[in-house]
């Protein structure tokens, strides 16, 4: 492989995607149908300068974090994902690692449910993709970096989220969330990232450590949730979690009962959520 092989592959994959394929507006006159470098950088959470250097062969060893972000942003197949890892000098994800590949059919689901908040998580509850209605409801996840993308970390160590709980509901939610993560750790014992996440949570949160050590059993599943939204106030919605066969992905879908005030508030949020997204700051450490 030459120093330009990596850049050539990224550019080819970028050129084959239209903005509409990834939920972005076309944005005026374009010289080509593919994504601009700025758009790929936005989707992957890295700087435009770094994308440029990768494509020009001036940066040839991106981190595994950057490669995973490019894989998601470019919507690569499993074979293309592995090829990108090799071009970057990295070993492809092993069969015992937590799957993060999103099948094209799931990407189409995100695109076509244009008025429904939908997000895709991996088995560790790390956010992999979300549509604009989900961002309107739960906050703009394109601004999150690293651990912030993990729902378990955000709940126990981070800023939390807009969902409100009674004490009983919070206890049940936390118990199920920890048990679900424990089950994932049992399925993927060789995944170093998952082990590091559990260690960080146990060291940083006494409540997580207590639940983890207690051996609590449960599954994070469908429920009614109330989101305290700063623009429209509290919105109570059904939250269904769908499994993707053969991938261990979780698709989270929020819906409202038709004809209710919650449905009206959700509709207002969906209008807001389909507006163009502003460019996001680069991923720390991805500029060199």
- Give 219-264 pLDDT, tens digit per residue: 666 688 999 988 888 999 999 999 888 788 999 999 999 999 999 9
Contact 96, 148 (CB under 8 A): no
The predicted-structure confidence for 46-61, as pLDDT tens digits, reads as follows 899 999 999 999 988 8
In this predicted structure, the answer to whether residue 218 has a pLDDT above a threshold of 80 is no
Closest CA to 37 of 70, 85, 86, 67: 70
Q: What is the pLDDT of residue 217?
A: 63
Q: What share of the chain is helix, strand, coil (3-state, %, to 5)?
A: 50, 15, 40
Domain range 5-87, its CATH number among 1.10.630.10, 2.20.25.90, 1.10.260.40, 1.20.140.10: 1.10.260.40
**Residue 234 near residue 227 (C-beta atoms within 8 A):** yes
141, 127 Cβ separation under 8 angstroms: yes
pLDDT of 223-232, one tens digit each? 889 999 888 8
* Topology given in CATH for the domain delimited by 104-273: Beta-Lactamase (3.30.450)
Token pair 């239209």 in the structure block, residue:
18
Predicted pLDDT at 3 = 59
Percent of the chain at pLDDT > 70 equals 88
Domain chopping of the chain, boundaries: 5-87, 104-273
Which residue in this structure is represented by tokens 């060199």?
288
């Amino acid at each position: 492989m030459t120093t330009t092989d990596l850049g050539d592959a990224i550019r080819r994959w970028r050129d084959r995607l239209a903005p509409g394929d990834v939920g972005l507006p076309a944005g005026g006159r374009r010289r080509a149908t593919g994504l601009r470098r700025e758009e790929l950088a936005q989707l992957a959470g890295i700087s435009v300068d770094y994308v440029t250097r990768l494509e020009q062969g001036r940066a040839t060893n991106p981190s595994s974090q950057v490669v995973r972000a490019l894989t998601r942003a470019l919507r690569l197949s499993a074979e293309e994902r592995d090829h990108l890892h090799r071009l970057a000098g990295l070993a492809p994800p092993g069969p015992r690692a937590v799957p993060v590949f999103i099948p094209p059919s799931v990407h189409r689901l995100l695109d076509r449910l244009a008025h429904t908040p939908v997000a895709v998580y991996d088995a560790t509850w790390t956010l992999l993709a979300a549509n604009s209605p989900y961002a309107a409801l739960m906050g703009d996840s394109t601004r999150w970096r690293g651990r912030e993308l993990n729902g378990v970390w955000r709940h126990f160590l981070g800023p939390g989220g807009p969902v409100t709980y009674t004490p009983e509901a919070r206890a049940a939610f936390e118990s199920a969330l920890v048990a679900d993560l424990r089950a994932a750790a049992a399925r993927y014992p060789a995944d170093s990232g998952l082990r590091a996440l559990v260690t960080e949570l146990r060291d940083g949160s006494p409540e997580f450590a207590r639940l983890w050590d207690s051996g609590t059993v449960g599954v994070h599943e469908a429920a009614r949730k109330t989101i305290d939204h700063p623009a429209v106030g509290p919105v109570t919605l059904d939250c269904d979690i769908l499994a993707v066969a053969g991938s261990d992905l979780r698709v989270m879908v929020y819906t409202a009962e038709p004809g209710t005030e919650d449905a009206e508030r959700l509709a207002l949020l969906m209008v807001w959520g389909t507006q163009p997204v502003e460019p996001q700051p680069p991923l720390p450490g991805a500029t060199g």
